[in-house]
Amino acid sequence: MSAPIQAYGCFARTLLNPPSSRLGQIALSALVAGSMSACGGGGNGSYAAPASAPVAQAPVAPATPAEPAPTPAPAATHKVSGTVNGLLGTGLVLQNNAGDDLAVAANGSFSFANALGGGSSYAVTIKSQSRILTRVCAVSNGSGIVADEPVTNVEVNCAAPVARFAYAVNFGSNNLFPYTVDVNTGALGSVAGPMVGTGYSPTSVAVDPTGRFVYVANRDSNNLSAYTIDVGTGVLSPMAVPTVASGDSPYSIAVDPTGRFAYVANRDSNNVSAYTIDATTGALSPAAVPTVPAGDMPYFIALDPMGRFAYVANAGSNNVSAYTIDATTGALSPAAAPTVPSGYLPFSIAVDPTGRFVYVANVYSDSVSAYTIDADTGALNPMAVPTIGAGSYPESVTVDPTGRFAYVANAISDNVSAYTIDASTGALSPMATPTVAARDAPSSVTVDPTGRFAYVTNFASKDVSAYAIDANTGALNPMAVSTVATGGISPQSLALSR
């Protein structure tokens, strides 16, 4: 019968007639072993299955690279800026958030260098004030949170501080009378302190622009008295060195707007004395150049509002001396045009707050001389209309701090002449009400730093007349309490202090 068919992995054999002989079986065994070896079989009677054919894989598309994340836009930042008004001089430095210092030298717009992100806080402050101490700068709208737009509404306003005290020198009783000033009404009251003594025949009083020191020119003792002011009460105390020598018959004293120098017109020595002021104590020391010549009988000295020029009215030579001021040392030097003619017996001089015009009261010609100032040299040039009439014996002239009005105290006609000032030319024109009555022998007129009030010392009636100033017209209107006593004899002049 047929032999069974067996499969051995990679080969198949049909055993038809298995050999019966011993030799044939051996041969068959060898054949099977060889075949198994050729198919990778082992000698242990087992057989490996043939390897499966590889399965074809579908091609895989390469992965698309991921889109890079967009770079975030930088956070928006905004500048902090604003405007400055009323500034005089240099030295003003602003800060934002106690840093980012910004020096400001002129009125107009400003902007801090560092921009701030939305949601950041800002705080604008003043690091240092201008060197011109007659004005104080303050910040409004100065702090907040930066939104999504620039900050543009910060305001820095510079203005003269209100007067709180007044001091009148009494020529005939050798003393100085202190007053309080009502900041709302301008009314004068008594300081809670006594009068203080001066030298002989005090003629002029000046207060430094910080409101800490008072100086008096004593005509007949040829010296200056110096006092400190209690800034809370206005009470005066003589300085540690209470007097300093001057020239002969010092008649007028002025302090420069930086508070560093003082100048005195010496009537009988025909010169001007110059002093430095100690910033801490207020003590006066003769300057490196202690005196400079003036004209004959210099009665009065005035300085321009920036402290660059000085002008002296020379009553004996009927002219005005002009000087430049060294900004570092305070030394006076004659201007390029050292003198200019005036009327007869020029007694008082005033510089307008813009520093462009000068006015001189001429006692014997009952007039006021008017000049323009050369901005570069300080030289004076008579205006197109060089003089205008005043009352009888005009002893004092002053200009209000807005530069719109001028006032003259007329000693014999017992009144005050009032003028408007042309803003372009400086020309004087009498007001609609050209004069207002004073008391007896008005000797000086002083306007407060805000331009709201005026005070006139009356030499013969021993008192002070007080007026409110109409802000639109400049007209003088007597206050409710129109006069106050000076507590002494023959008040010659008055100065105000903040």
With a CB cutoff of 8 Å and minimum separation 6, the contacts of 360 are 313, 320, 342, 343, 346, 348, 349, 350, 368, 369, 370, 371, 397
d(CA 309, CA 186): 31
Q: Which amino acid is at 484?
A: V
Phi, psi at 111, each rounded to 5°: -150, 130
Q: State how far Cα 59 lies from the chain centre.
A: 80
Q: 278, 239 in Cβ contact below 8 A? A: no
Q: Is 38 helix (H, G, I), strand (E, B) or coil?
A: helix
Q: Is 460 helix (H, G, I), strand (E, B) or coil?
A: coil
The pair of structure tokens assigned to 192 is 């809670």
Q: 479, 466 in Cβ contact below 8 A? A: yes
d(CA 452, CA 448): 7
Length in residues, the chain = 498
**In sequence order, which ranges of 85-133 are alpha helices (DSSP H)?**
none
The pair of structure tokens assigned to 489 is 């004899």
The pair of structure tokens assigned to 492 is 């010659």
Greatest pairwise CA separation for the chain in angstroms? 177
pLDDT at 25: 46
Q: Please list the rounded mean pLDDT of every run of 10 residues in the chain (498 residues).
A: 40 41 42 42 44 59 71 81 96 97 96 95 97 96 95 96 96 97 96 91 98 98 98 96 98 98 98 98 97 98 97 98 97 96 98 97 98 97 97 98 97 98 98 97 97 98 98 97 95 97
d(CA 417, CA 388): 11
d(CA 433, CA 412): 19
With a CB cutoff of 8 Å and minimum separation 6, the contacts of 39 are 8, 9, 10, 11, 47, 48
Sort 302 into a burial class: Cβ within 10 Å, 0-12 / 13-18 / 19+.
Answer: buried
Q: Which residue has the tokens 């510089």?
A: 351
pLDDT at 52: 52
What are the structural domains, with CATH classification, of the chain?
5-38 (no CATH), 77-159 (2.60.40), 165-497 (2.130.10.10)
pLDDT at 23: 36
Give the DSSP letter string of 39-92: TT--TTS--PPPPPPPPPPPPPPPPPPPPPPPPPPPPPEE-EEEEEES--SS-E
The pair of structure tokens assigned to 449 is 């730093």
Following CA atoms 443, 341, 354, 169 in sequence, which dihedral angle do they give, to the nearest 10 degrees?
A: -20
d(CA 36, CA 24): 18
The pair of structure tokens assigned to 247 is 């020239």
